[in-house]
Amino acid sequence: MSIKKSVVSTSNETLVSDNVSLSKGYDFKTISGVDTLYSYYPSNEAYRDFFESLAQKILSAKEQYDGFIPKDTLRIVIGDKEFFFNGMSKGYYFFIDTARWFRIGLKHPSQNTKLLDIQVQCEATGIYLLGLVGLIRYIEALVSPIANICSQLTRMDGNIFVQFDLSSVIEKDFIISKKRKNRREDGGRRGYQSLKIGDNPFLARFYDKRIELIGKEKRSLMEAYFVFHGFDLNKPIWNFEFEWHRDFFKRYGIRTVEDGLKNVEILFHHCMKIIRFVDKTTLSQKDLEANRWHRAKTHPLWEYIDQSYTFNAIPQSYEALEKIIPKKSVYNSKVFMMEFQNLLNKGVENDVYLSQENVQEILKRSGLWFTERTKKLLKPFKPLPLIVDGVNYVLSRNRTPIKTLPANLTLISTYKLKQFEASLLKALHSEFTEQDWDISLITKNLKAIESEIKKRKYEQSELELWQA
């Protein structure tokens, strides 16, 4: 964690609800860093045997407790550390170590294969005792017998503790952002006690830390941490943080825990520009009445918090963030086969029976059934023209002659239409004997004839009614 201490005393400690103008500065103490981090790790070859042993223990515990395992009852050992069962969520069995430094989630290696098998959630107790980097190194050494140490970052919170009552200055209505989903929580007589802006995959949140710690196990640890860094426990302590999730990281090419940690500072500063608290005293009366708050300058309190944030646990990258524009997805045979394989895996998991004939029938009707010969046809097949005894035909892919219909069927007699229909049905039956059907033109012509014949029957019925 990083700390910024005030150099001189300031009279700004007693600021109340009125906004402070740009000429008035801030100089309160801050402690900045990362206080939440979730990541995934791929399992190695030893994991399957480990999980099968774990599954037996879980099954025995369920039988013992009538299907429900109370928290802190089931115990397992990973490496040289003991863990308690801490519940189940989204297919993962979660365990927390006895010191409550971190939680680890474990899932079946053959289920929900889109997610990695091992999930790690760093707890505040471990972060503030060992330091975040020290805790991560400890965890990775511990799980290395069952995991490949190649992390995928899924959540990280960059935070800054401030010795200041943020609710005394920051007004919800003057926070400018595209993320307008705000929630005021636990409002008190003097103002709100917490405020949230935005939603996944990126949100801002600030709240009264002293109130949040009431009744929490980590209270004594956090108070000792604040005192060590020079905070006065009798004065306001607020936490200001950005919560980032995987979809947000992907926009900037951040994948691993290391990627996230070395970009914490620039991410924090970037988000302070996406969400701004503005100084309404810099707006004209006309802009105020028209709610044109985006024209206001950033409030000095917001600028002070932004400038105070540092993270020195690992060297930082100060290259400008470049948003990655995703390529337009193309749905091709490769993507189809991946999805088809996933569907088959789901069928296997649920003991679904499929006959080869049924699958072939579905594929044939869909037009996706190709042989090795037809796979080589990269361009659409064009029917070949043929004239026999003055009658026009086209040849299908299987060399079946298909009689060509005139452009205007209304000029043809019903008898002639029936002849065309019989010829097309003969061609259709001929195609059905082939392995790879080519019936689109035949069915198109048959539908045209059917439509014309129905039309004539209707007109004849109308005429008979009129003459009756």
Report whether pLDDT(433) > 90.
Answer: no
pLDDT digits (tens, 9 = 90+) for 395-409: 776 667 777 777 777
List, in order, residues 6 or more apart from 89 with CB less than 8 Å away: 105
Q: Above 50 in pLDDT, residue 377?
A: no
Q: State percent of the chain over pLDDT 70.
A: 81
Q: Any bridge partners for residue 228, and if so which?
A: none
Q: Is 229 helix (H, G, I), strand (E, B) or coil?
A: coil
* pTM passes above 0.75: no
**Contact, 452 vs 417, CB < 8 A?**
yes
Asked if residue 385 lies in contact with residue 394, where contact means CB atoms within 8 angstroms, the answer is yes
Highest mean pLDDT among 2-11, 211-220, 370-379, 428-437 belongs to 211-220
Amino acid type, 23:
S
User: Position of tokens 């009264």?
Assistant: 208
Average pLDDT over residues 253-273: 94
Read off the pLDDT of residues 194-247 as tens digits, 9 standing for 90 and up.
889 888 888 999 999 999 999 998 999 999 999 999 999 999 999 999 999 999
Confidence of residue 369 (pLDDT cuts 50, 70, 90): low
User: First CA to last CA across the chain, in angstroms?
Assistant: 98
> Which DSSP category does 91 fall into?
T
Tokens 């290696």: give the residue.
109
Max mean pLDDT among 95-99, 173-177, 185-189 falls in 95-99
Q: Counting Cβ atoms within 10 Å, is residue 240 exposed (0-12), middle (13-18) or buried (19+)? A: buried
Tens digit of pLDDT for each residue in 143-183?
Answer: 999 999 999 999 999 999 999 999 999 888 888 886 555 55
**Angle of helix 414-432 versus helix 440-467 axis, rounded to 10:** 150
pLDDT at 441: 77
Which amino acid makes up residue 136? I
Q: Per-domain residue ranges for the chain?
A: 2-308, 333-467
